[in-house]
């Protein structure tokens, strides 16, 4: 399959149509942004690393029975995925307090959250991704209640699989964001990507941050830590 027209260009990825109407190609760029796109930088090799980590994690989740749009890796920066109609709502699962939750509720970073929490945010940079609830999402026709229920169930299932995967590799999965969409046959699928750009990962032994917070907080060595995440998971960065 080849790329035909560019369908969409996001903050870190481009989506291309292919000759097959049901499949699109996701191209991972080195662009890294924070604060709703206000701060942007190119981080050499990030696209290659995130494409590999995403392929590894999505394959792992598919093997666990999670419906994912990911089909296969095509090159160091590209992956083939099912075409989805995206639900414009982000699902966030948290195992420890960090980021916006710490700010919003005045919690201490690292506070264990048991049971894990689940939040919804509307995907909208201009409005800084406002938090919403089921009632608003349903009334504003962004998703049905059945879809929301499925998104929550799948997100928490993804969490239990990934907490275990990361723990075995001496990493703590603090929180993450998922996006879902509907495939041509109507199935709700996990879309977008899973990479250190969209989750928080702390070294289980030292507590060091290994994710995009290194970029947001100017901690340095962003790509070095992404590579370390890949290495610990056993992701082969050289495999096409």
Among 14, 31, 78, 175, binds ligand C5P (CB under 6 A): 175
198 binds ligand C5P (CB under 6 A): yes
Is 176 near ligand C5P (CB under 6 A)?
yes
Rounded (10°) angle between helices 46-63 and 222-233: 30
For residue 195, the minimal CB distance to ligand C5P (Å) is 9
How many CB atoms sit inside 10 A of residue 72's CB? Answer: 10
Q: Which is closer to ligand C5P, CB of 74 or CB of 189?
A: 189
Q: Is the peptide bond before 115 cis (omega within 30 degrees of 0)?
A: yes
The answer to whether 87 and 182 are in contact (CB under 8 A) is yes
Applying CB under 6 A, among 73, 212, 214, 227 the residue interacting with ligand C5P is 212
Beta strands in 139-186 (DSSP E): 171-183
Of the candidate residues 17, 101, 171, 210, the single one contacting ligand C5P (CB under 6 A): 101
Q: Which long-range contacts (CB under 8 A, 24 or more apart) does 58-62 make?
A: 58/190, 58/194, 60/161, 60/165, 61/158, 61/161, 61/162, 61/190, 61/194
117 near ligand C5P, judged by CB under 6 A:
no
Token output for 188: 């709700």
Nearer to ligand C5P, 1 or 121 (CB): 121
- 209 contacts ligand C5P (rule: CB under 6 A): no
Structure tokens at 129: 């991704």
Q: How far is the CB of 76 from ligand C5P (least distance, A)?
A: 22
Question: Helix or strand or coil: residue 58?
Answer: helix
Burial label for 224, CB within 10 Å (0-12, 13-18, 19+), is: exposed
Tokens of 193: 């990507």
Of 63-71, 138-146, 164-172, 175-183, the segment contacting ligand C5P by CB under 6 A is 175-183
Least gap, CB of 201 to ligand C5P (angstroms) = 9
Segment lying near ligand C5P (by CB under 6 A), choices 67-75, 76-84, 97-105, 154-162? 97-105
If one asks whether residue 204 binds ligand C5P (CB under 6 A), the answer comes out as: no
Binding flag, residue 47, ligand C5P (CB under 6 A): no
151 binds ligand C5P (CB under 6 A): no
- The contact set with ligand C5P (CB under 6 A) reads 90, 92, 98-101, 129, 175-177, 198-200, 212
């Amino acid at each position: 399959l080849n790329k035909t027209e560019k369908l969409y260009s996001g903050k870190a990825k481009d989506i291309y149509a292919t000759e097959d109407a049901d499949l699109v190609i996701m191209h991972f760029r080195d662009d890294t942004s924070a604060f709703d796109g206000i701060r942007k930088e190119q981080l050499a090799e990030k696209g290659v690393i995130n494409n590999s980590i995403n392929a590894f994690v999505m394959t792992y989740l598919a093997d666990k029975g999670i419906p994912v749009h990911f089909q296969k890796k095509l090159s160091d920066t590209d992956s083939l995925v099912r075409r989805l109609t995206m639900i414009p709502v982000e699902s966030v699962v948290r195992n420890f307090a960090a980021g916006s939750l710490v700010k919003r509720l005045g919690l201490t970073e690292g506070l264990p959250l048991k049971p894990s929490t689940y939040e919804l945010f509307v995907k909208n940079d201009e409005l800084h991704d406002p938090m919403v609830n089921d009632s608003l999402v349903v009334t504003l026709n962004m998703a049905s209640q059945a879809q929301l229920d499925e998104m929550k169930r799948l997100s928490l299932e993804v969490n239990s699989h990934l907490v275990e995967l990361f723990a075995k590799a001496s990493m703590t999965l603090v929180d993450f964001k998922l996006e879902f969409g509907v495939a041509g046959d109507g199935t709700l699928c996990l879309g977008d990507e899973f990479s250190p750009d969209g989750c928080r990962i702390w070294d289980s032994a030292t507590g060091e941050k290994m994710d995009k917070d290194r970029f947001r907080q100017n901690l340095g060595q962003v790509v070095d830590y992404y590579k370390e995440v890949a290495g610990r998971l056993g992701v082969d960065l050289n495999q096409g």
